[in-house]
């Protein structure tokens, strides 16, 4: 059977980077990269006439940069699966977050130098992301292969949002038959140019503006884990949780029929319309990953100022990104949004985002209140923050109702935690529908657990949350 190769467009003002990325992509028989553009304007004109399975897009380019191209595509309603190729400087972090908010599904970090650019880490990073977002199938094992024409470099090559141990999920609607228990679903480069571009890469490296080829979100979590594990004696709550809940998913369907029915009366007693005085003991706990930054901008700004519950939120991101995300959401929203800090007392109408590099746990506070505890316990499946840890911490909370929300993301983070939590607390579980997900992984996993109450499109998530929490 002949399989049509996925067609990839490369957009970068560096001729050398265009060549390197093309070589990487064409080294895999599932992909084809022939078309390249040196700036966003050239790419926009090409995208008007041709369709591509994915676009790898640089940020800083002349005439029209990557962010301007994303704006132009959105204005003209041109849907393109875009992966940014970015640096992790302070400016690069803000630009990358802007790109994710504008619709880019992921990003890879530019390498430090030409050796790293042609190394295994950078190659695996690109190919793994392309495999996931284009549904190209299982990635061959390259562990014994050197980099393309050069020595091997280090790096796991996972997507920035994707834990290393998670299986791949489709980045577009699939035909899965997940059950919903109690669901209410109503080239060529001349030698002079090569030397010039190689010098350009090395100059950036010496100035410290480009970091770690092949490093992904999960890689950065693991680096932080290795550091903190040597210097912290804090109890490994996350590690204990992983051991305690290792069998929860296997028993998920059996537990759902009994435990959910046991808590139905408690849950129904907490449900109020958005126009009435809902229970004051309600919490919203939200989890998302790939596609999350853009999705959150479609949810948080649409929550009412007088929302009758606090929200705690895990978005898989590295250090630095979550604070900026919180600040940007706060400007656009009626509710207050902040990066969670140790000891924060949870208040109604406020959203607390787990900081990159820390697990977010909710613990009891005096006077029947609840507060934030940030943990440096080891990463779970390469993730810190990890939504499963957040949900697990809520098992001992005093909330009479917890509204669990699962949005777009690779993998299955959150499902184990919710499966365990539903045995201890009354829940109402909301999942984003397949059609509006960038990657239908996390919502698919929780749907298949049988615990979902409502499956809704992204544009209806905010009002569904408000319906189940009420307003003050």
Residue 98: how many CB atoms within 10 A of its CB?
A: 19
Does some domain include residue 227? no
* Whether residues 127 and 271 fall in one domain: no
* Whether residues 260 and 408 fall in one domain: yes
Pairing verdict, β 369-375 and 359-365: antiparallel
Catalytic-labelled residue, pool 153, 270, 289, 412: 289
Q: Could you report how far apart the first and last alpha carbons of the chain are, in Å?
A: 61
Does some domain include residue 208? no
Is 12 one of the annotated active-site residues of the chain? no
Tell me the three state secondary structure of residue 373: strand
Catalytic-labelled residue, pool 302, 316, 392, 428: 316
* Whether residues 158 and 263 fall in one domain: no
Question: Which residue, 168, 203, 218, sits at the end of a domain?
Answer: 168
The answer to whether 454 touches 184, Cβ cutoff 8 Å, is yes
Is 316 one of the annotated active-site residues of the chain? yes
Residues 6+ apart with CB under 8 A from 245: 388, 392, 416, 417, 419, 420
* Whether residues 300 and 410 fall in one domain: yes
Pairwise CA distance, residues 333 & 353, whole Å: 14
Ordered per-residue pLDDT tens for the chain, 472 residues: 557 899 999 999 999 999 999 999 999 999 999 999 999 999 999 999 999 999 999 999 999 999 999 999 999 999 999 999 977 655 678 888 899 999 999 888 888 788 888 898 899 989 988 988 887 765 454 444 433 333 323 333 345 554 433 433 444 433 333 333 333 333 333 444 444 444 444 444 333 333 333 344 334 333 343 344 434 434 445 555 555 555 444 444 444 433 334 433 333 333 343 333 334 599 999 999 989 999 999 999 999 999 999 999 999 988 888 999 999 999 999 999 999 999 999 999 999 999 999 999 999 999 999 999 999 999 998 899 999 999 999 999 999 999 999 999 989 999 999 999 999 999 999 999 999 998 899 999 999 999 999 999 999 999 999 999 999 8
CATH classification at residue 158: 3.40.50.2300
Question: Which residue, 152, 168, 184, sits at the end of a domain?
Answer: 168
Pairwise CA distance, residues 313 & 344, whole Å: 14
Catalytic-labelled residue, pool 39, 413, 453, 460: 413
Pairwise CA distance, residues 43 & 66, whole Å: 10
Is 370 one of the annotated active-site residues of the chain? no
Q: Whole domain around residue 308: which residue ranges?
A: 238-469
Pairwise CA distance, residues 109 & 87, whole Å: 6
Among candidates 118, 465, 440, 123, which has minimal Cα distance to 313? 465
The answer to whether the predicted template modeling score (pTM) of the entire model surpasses 0.75 is no
């Amino acid at each position: 059977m002949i399989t049509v190769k996925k067609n990839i467009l490369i957009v970068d003002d560096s001729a050398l980077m265009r060549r390197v990325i093309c070589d990487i992509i064409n080294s895999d028989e599932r992909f084809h990269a022939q078309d390249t553009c040196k700036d966003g304007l050239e790419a926009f004109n090409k995208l008007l006439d041709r369709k591509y399975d994915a676009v790898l897009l640089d940020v800083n380019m002349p005439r029209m940069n990557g962010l301007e191209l994303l704006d132009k595509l959105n204005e003209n309603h041109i849907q393109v699966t875009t992966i940014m190729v970015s640096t992790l400087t302070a400016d690069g972090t803000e630009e990358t977050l802007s790109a994710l908010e504008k619709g880019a599904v992921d990003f890879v970090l530019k390498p430090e130098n030409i050796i790293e650019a042609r190394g295994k880490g950078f190659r695996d990073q690109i190919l793994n992301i392309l495999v996931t977002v284009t549904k190209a199938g299982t990635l061959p094992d390259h562990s014994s292969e050197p980099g393309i024409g050069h020595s091997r470099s280090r790096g796991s090559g996972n997507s920035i949002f994707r834990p290393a141990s998670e299986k791949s999920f489709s980045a577009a609607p699939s035909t899965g038959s997940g059950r919903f228990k109690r669901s209410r679903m109503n080239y060529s480069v001349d030698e002079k140019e090569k030397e010039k571009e190689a010098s350009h890469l090395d100059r950036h490296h010496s100035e410290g503006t480009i970091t770690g080829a092949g490093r992904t979100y999960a890689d950065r979590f693991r680096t932080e884990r290795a550091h903190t594990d040597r210097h912290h004696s804090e109890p490994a709550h996350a590690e204990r949780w992983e051991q305690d809940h290792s069998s929860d998913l296997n028993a998920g369907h059996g537990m759902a029929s009994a435990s959910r029915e046991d808590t139905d009366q408690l849950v129904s007693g907490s449900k109020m319309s958005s126009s009435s005085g809902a229970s004051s003991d309600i919490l919203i706990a939200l989890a998302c990953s790939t596609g999350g930054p853009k999705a959150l901008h479609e949810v948080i700004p649409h929550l009412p100022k007088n929302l009758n519950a606090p929200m705690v939120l895990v978005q898989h991101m590295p250090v630095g990104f979550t604070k900026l995300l919180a600040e940007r959401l706060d400007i656009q929203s009626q509710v207050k949004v902040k990066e969670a800090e140790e000891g924060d007392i949870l208040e109604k109408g406020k959203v607390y985002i787990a900081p990159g590099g820390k697990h977010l746990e909710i613990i009891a506070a005096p006077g029947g209140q609840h507060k934030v505890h940030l943990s440096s316990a080891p990463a779970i499946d390469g993730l810190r923050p990890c939504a499963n840890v957040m949900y697990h911490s809520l098992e001992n909370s005093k909330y009479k109702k917890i509204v669990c929300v699962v949005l777009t993301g690779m993998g299955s983070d959150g499902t184990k935690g919710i499966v365990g939590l539903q045995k201890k607390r009354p829940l109402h579980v909301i999942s984003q529908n397949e059609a509006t997900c960038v990657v239908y992984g996390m919502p698919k996993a929780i749907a298949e657990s049988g615990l979902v109450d409502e499956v809704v499109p992204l544009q209806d998530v905010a009002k569904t949350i408000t319906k189940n929490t009420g307003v003050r």
